[in-house]
Structure 1
Amino acid sequence: DGEAGGQPFGTQVETGTQWGAYGALGIDWFVGPGAALFEVQGAWAAMDGFVMRDTHLSTVNLALGYRLML
């Protein structure tokens, strides 16, 4: 809902499905009734549509925590 030069952009709706990749690498240190953890996750997918041409989506997530083993 934006505008440029006083003219509205209009509404663009685009849906689709693309192949992508996901990977995760982590380690647990068993301490007490659970485990301390560190994990790195990454994902990537190509996106070539009408509105967003020749681009991609990607993410890197870091997790640091403690898992309780009940």
Structure 2
Amino acid sequence: MGVVKVIELVGTSRHNWTDAVDSAVAEASKTLDDIVGVEVTNFTANVDSSKITEYKADVRVAFHVH
């Protein structure tokens, strides 16, 4: 079983919130092994001229500590 550590990240996307979450997980997986789960804690967006220009997702990433 071992120890699981949790870090918080903000993923971004110009397309949608799902892509923003995927972006955070993909970036985390570049330096972390054994990611076991994520929790999305908040969705936000930047708006310009009444249109969403960037989607943001606050993501908690859990991974095993070795």
| TM above 0.5 | no
User: TM-score range, shorter-chain basis?
Assistant: under 0.3
Kindly indicate which of the two structures has a greater share of residues assigned to helix. 2
User: Could you tell me the TM-score, scaled by structure 1's length?
Assistant: 0.26
TM-score by length of 2: 0.27
